[in-house]
Amino acid sequence: MSRVLILGGGGMVGQKLAHRLLADGLNGAACEITLHDMAFPPSGAEVADQRRGNLADAGQMEALAAEKFDVIFHLASIVSGEAEADFDKGWQVNMFPTWRLLEGLRAEHEADEGYRPRLVFTSSIAVFGGPYPDVIGDDYLSAPQTSYGAQKSICEAMISDFSRKGFIDGISIRLPTICVRPGKANLAASSFFSGIIREPLNGVEAVLPVSDTVRHWHASPRAAAGFLTHAGTMDLGLLGTRRALNLPGVSCTVAEQIEALREAAGNDVVKLIRPEPNETIMKIVEGWPRNFDPQRAISLGFRAEKTFAEIIQVYLDDDLPKP
Amino acid sequence: MSRVLILGGGGMVGQKLAHRLLADGLNGAACEITLHDMAFPPSGAEVADQRRGNLADAGQMEALAAEKFDVIFHLASIVSGEAEADFDKGWQVNMFPTWRLLEGLRAEHEADEGYRPRLVFTSSIAVFGGPYPDVIGDDYLSAPQTSYGAQKSICEAMISDFSRKGFIDGISIRLPTICVRPGKANLAASSFFSGIIREPLNGVEAVLPVSDTVRHWHASPRAAAGFLTHAGTMDLGLLGTRRALNLPGVSCTVAEQIEALREAAGNDVVKLIRPEPNETIMKIVEGWPRNFDPQRAISLGFRAEKTFAEIIQVYLDDDLPKP
């Protein structure tokens, strides 16, 4: 039975992935799951092996590498805002543990050349920085404008090189902004993209801090779990030496998001969105990509929603709290 | 007087830069030069402060950072072939010392916010990997196919982020293949590009291991010294957040190189080039970029030769051993 480790397994996407693996297994076969994170939700995925730990602690990544998991999903990082506010912590959490993990896996490979684990790393569209073309193609440069983006970009380069050398079989997937995130708003500047859908659907007022002409790139939590399991099982040889991938998503404006919400839930729900322009958030969001043409990922079988209406439906199906 | 440190100051390009700084100063003013390297040529640039050291040794970069140089030229690395053969050494020499230097400079900046040193890092067109367009534009992705290229690309991302945060004022310049290199052939796969010009001009036979249809991207050692001093003095604010730069050069085929040699030195000299196809070198060179459109660098005032004839003339003027 495949042994699977999810780093960041307590987070929203990690939990979605764990639920998916519990339900469908990996490649149609059941797998043994280990979750690693600082904390876990109280009624989360029913995985017996849940390890509390800090991936930045000395020896932590080396010890995990020594367990020779077959597939490692590396989703753990501090978010963009925190990496920006605490420069040192950003690098110590978002970069160096990945290096130590890779070195640990290389040591296991060198001791046993048959061992070449699958590593799926969640990178981000934060590796890009403006000015952008209207549509970002697969061969557009990385030019991060945050430390978080720089750290993701660097981990991508390491994972590509360790893969090229045959020590691991790795891939970095650049997730779109995940929307609609269940649960509470968080401090990310992107939080409102989920908030303006989620709060009204729950009868709560939501603040819209930007103009409704803002265009951005989205995929659902369900699509994220699908990206991860596909990346965990597909033939990565098809990627050649370019092992960082832009993923499919839905490009739409906030106005289009709101229209989709109106169609799904009616005018009274939409009335719960209150415009309250926030210069700081507007300035941050201005620097974000608006649209992609992810031909490689699509040809490699990665799938996301086609419309924002589908993204809302996923929230209604999977995450809307039942009364 | 500006205090200038050249890491890799014993190498060919480091020496060219030292000579240039001794002759012209920096920004027209004399500067105090420190060279750091593992070794120095016997009759090299006449710089009093030459430090033998290994930048990978513990404490070495931190100690240099603590000296608070005004301008640091970071040219030190092991070459592509060695980084490929000795994976561990590649990362320990080509990446981690750069991180420690940056952290050392950040510590100095944090102790004295007026201190924000200029850092000029020699990156390489090895950050690119095929398949390529015929001409590589300024927004083409980095996709290294060697560990050396991955290490250069990662150092670029760190330098950009430390610059964005205001800890340093840094730039990474992606040097073309430097040609005609004076002195002896080295083990680099690119060595023949210089060899087929240099050896015949010195009355010695040269081996051509690839087809003469191979196209590549060149600039002279004199141009390299010019890139460096320009990068050391220009207003880097003009770069915005994209602080890694493709540089100008000459795109030409080996046949065009040979014709330029014929015009400069005659048929008998060209007859000293002996074709001897080498599959290994052909395969490596196939993966290299052929041409660039470095609009940003040109608009920022970086200048290289316009023709390969000029590149040969630079060798004749600057480096041909006098009888």
- Using one digit for the tens of pLDDT, what is the confidence trace for A198-217? 999 999 999 999 999 999 99
Asked if the bond preceding A13 is cis, omega within 30° of 0, the reply is: no
Question: Residue A153 is nearest to which of B145, B147, B157, comparing CB atoms?
Answer: B157
Question: Residue B142 is nearest to which of A133, A141, A145, comparing CB atoms?
Answer: A141
Q: How many Cβ atoms from other residues are within 10 Å of residue A148's Cβ?
A: 23
Chain B CB within 8 Å of residue A164 CB = yes
Distance, in Å, from the CA atom of A189 to the CA atom of A145, rounded to the nearest integer, reads 14
Contact A161, A231 (CB under 8 A): no
Give the per-residue pLDDT at A283.
86
Distance, in Å, from the CA atom of B201 to the CA atom of B18, rounded to the nearest integer, reads 26
Q: Which residue has the tokens 């042994």?
A: A3
Report, as residue numbers or ranges, the catalytic residues of B: 148
Confidence of residue A161 (pLDDT cuts 50, 70, 90): very high
Mean pLDDT of the A231-238 span: 97
Measure Cα distances from A52 to A8, A34, A37, A43, A49 in Å: 10, 11, 5, 16, 10
Q: A73's torsion region: left (phi>0), alpha (psi -120 to 50) or beta?
A: beta
Chain A CB within 8 Å of residue B140 CB = yes
- Of A115, A132, A140, A148, which is the active-site residue? A148
Question: Residue B145 is nearest to which of A144, A154, A241, comparing CB atoms?
Answer: A241
For residue A256, pLDDT over 90 is answered with: yes
The yes/no answer on whether domain A2-176+219-246 falls in CATH 3.40.50.720 is yes
Compute the mean pLDDT over every residue in chain A, rounded to the nearest whole number: 96
Q: Which residues of chain B have pLDDT under 70?
A: none
Query: Hey, what CATH class is B2-176+220-246 in?
Result: alpha beta
B286-298, pLDDT tens digit by residue?
889 999 999 999 9
Give the per-residue pLDDT at A316.
97
Contact B167, B109 (CB under 8 A): yes
Q: Which amino acid is at A277?
A: P
Give the per-residue pLDDT at A26.
93
Distance, in Å, from the CA atom of B78 to the CA atom of B90, rounded to the nearest integer, reads 7
Alpha-carbon torsion angle A89, B159, A285, A307, nearest 10: -90
- Nearest Cα neighbor of B254 from B204, B297, B210 is B210
Give the per-residue pLDDT at B225.
98
Give the per-residue pLDDT at A227.
98
Which of A161, A168, A239 is the best residue to mutate to test the B interface, defined by the most B CB atoms within 10 Å of its own CB?
Answer: A161
Chain B CB within 8 Å of residue A242 CB = yes
B248-262, pLDDT tens digit by residue?
999 999 999 999 999
Structural domain boundaries in chain A: 2-176+219-246
Residues of chain A neighbouring B147 (CB-CB closer than 8 A): 161, 165
For residue A189, pLDDT over 90 is answered with: no
For residue A30, pLDDT over 80 is answered with: yes
A319 vs chain B: nearest CA distance in angstroms?
37
Residues of chain A neighbouring B165 (CB-CB closer than 8 A): 87, 147
Confidence of residue A323 (pLDDT cuts 50, 70, 90): confident
Give the per-residue pLDDT at B284.
84
Residues of chain A neighbouring B144 (CB-CB closer than 8 A): 157, 160-161
Give the per-residue pLDDT at A286.
85
For residue A67, pLDDT over 80 is answered with: yes
Mean pLDDT of the A8-19 span: 97
Give the per-residue pLDDT at A185.
82
Q: How many Cβ atoms from other residues are within 10 Å of residue A22's Cβ?
A: 14
Chain A CB within 8 Å of residue B141 CB = yes
ipTM score above 0.90: yes
Give the whole-number percent of chain A exceeding pLDDT 90: 91
pTM of the model as a whole: 0.96
Mean pLDDT of the A37-64 span: 96
